Structure 1
């Protein structure tokens, strides 16, 4: 595969806060990525730096092998669609789409027209008078119709209802199949986008904690459910990232693929095993990473870990 983005040792600090902490990764050509993580994890900061809308404190960023800052050739090949996109007070959707058609060399006006109809977007209403969903549709239409070689979607579709979000997913996939490009989706709706994304980047507290193919991640964990004593016996020595108990029944999420011998043990012990959805895995993993970080901070202070985490 050919890399279109290379990031090495990227760090961004705001006074006392480190938003991105020594991050390194690559983005491959013609692949749909999910850039996932909690609010404040660093997703928007990373995308802003990659699109030259923010500056790194340290580290190196290369897009198409070049520094993107003040580089018109590189910037014209990228589209960054964000939820908080600002427009002039008197701007209308027709103005925004017209401006986009002039900036992006691969703009497809016929596709934009079809998307306007799909999202029932009123072209001649002032943008400041649009509903949140209509405003989201403006960004989504620009992101798809631009056919930029790299397109970033920073949760601009949050204002869309379920039907409109499905239209977005369907239209994006259909056009991607005909016109492959690199797409980076930042989303909290992990289960909704899980069937779109081919590779997952999870950022937590400014650090990349998962960088894997989506299919490989699905087998990384399992939920073990049943009698608490039997569950505890099975998970002993395994990495547990989540536990829930009710009476004598426990549900424990463990990392690591289960072997055929493991599954035989589960059957013999009368335990049930269930797959972990991508959303569950990412939520549990970030919670687990947060707990480990807290424990490490406590240990560095010389405080008893169990006491501090109660």
Structure 2
């Protein structure tokens, strides 16, 4: 199969609302997934991640708003839908057929399918083509989902918790394969995951959902500059925190006589606060994406 000659598409949701009965899964969401980037779609259970990906994959229509892939509505647009691949943790495969049959079906459905890559990934995860899918272990089934996602080479590839059934060595093998193939064949990739620590270094862009609304949509590196952790004597830190201009205290915890605070704010304000804190003898450390996610979504909740 051939690789598209056009550049990877941008994915955008404009004022999108989606509901299940009386439950609003997405509430007037306006967000862009940059073209040709790996975006982490993060959120607590029930935040709307799977609903959002289902809309992009044209598995359903929004109650209001627009879903656009490369500026076009993909719903019932066969040519455009071929360019969008969603692999879900539940697995959208033919359970009672062999792996090989599923591979042929995927190849017929995806104009960008790469059989050589599929074979290489199958070998990495030791999945036999003649085995019936429902007889695969949970880990092998998850790994088979990653085969379908990677080998599709779809211009928009979305992976929704597809690797949760895999053990740690298999997950890290998948991350390596994903990054290697993405660098060789750029596309728009969206990773929905709870394993933030594991995927953090892959991400160029981050979208955080909370109760159906977009809490954060930023470049990953920019997001990391918006938080820091400060540690010092409890009384001294308590006296300093209220004096820091434009800085929000997300959380504090006490460790004996020592206190640690997680701060967030605009980078220039954090830099000024960091100078004050260091001058006062405080210890300053960075904040990883998972800590920032936990504090932001905890505060929103």
- TM-score, scaled relative to structure 1: 0.89
1:247 is the counterpart of 2:253: no
1:269 aligned partner = 280
Q: How does 1:68-217 map to 2 (within 5 A)?
A: 68-217=74-223
User: 1:125 and 1:131 mapped to 2: Cα distance?
Assistant: 11
**Paired positions, count:** 290
Contact 1:3 1:26 in 2 (8 A): no
1:49 is the counterpart of 2:44: no
Deviation at residue 260 of structure 1 after TM alignment: 5.4
253-262 or 222-231: which moved more?
253-262
Segments of structure 2 that go 5 or more residues without pairing to the other structure are 1-6
Deviation at residue 83 of structure 1 after TM alignment: 0.3
Contact 1:224 1:273 in 2 (8 A): yes
2:3 aligned partner = none
Deviation at residue 65 of structure 1 after TM alignment: 2.1
Contact 1:136 1:160 in 2 (8 A): yes
Deviation at residue 152 of structure 1 after TM alignment: 0.3
C-alpha distance after superposition, 1:148-167 (max 9, x if no partner): 10000001011111111111
Deviation at residue 268 of structure 1 after TM alignment: 3.5
Segments of structure 1 that go 5 or more residues without pairing to the other structure are 291-310
User: 1:210 and 1:221 mapped to 2: Cα distance?
Assistant: 13
User: 2:18 and 2:163 mapped to 1: Cα distance?
Assistant: 26
What is the SS of the residue equivalent to 1:267?
A: helix
Aligned partner of 1:4 among 10, 13, 32: 10
User: 1:259 and 1:273 mapped to 2: Cα distance?
Assistant: 11
1:303 aligned partner = none
Change (3 A) 1:170 1:70: same
User: 1:221 and 1:29 mapped to 2: Cα distance?
Assistant: 26
Aligned partner of 1:284 among 285, 295, 299: 295
280-289 or 254-263: which moved more?
254-263
C-alpha distance after superposition, 1:164-202 (max 9, x if no partner): 111111111111111111100001011111111100011
What is the SS of the residue equivalent to 1:67?
A: coil
Deviation at residue 246 of structure 1 after TM alignment: 3.3
What is the SS of the residue equivalent to 1:194?
A: helix
Contact 1:2 1:28 in 2 (8 A): no
User: 1:182 and 1:260 mapped to 2: Cα distance?
Assistant: 33
Change (3 A) 1:106 1:89: closer
168-177 or 228-237: which moved more?
228-237
2:67 aligned partner = 61
2:46 aligned partner = 40
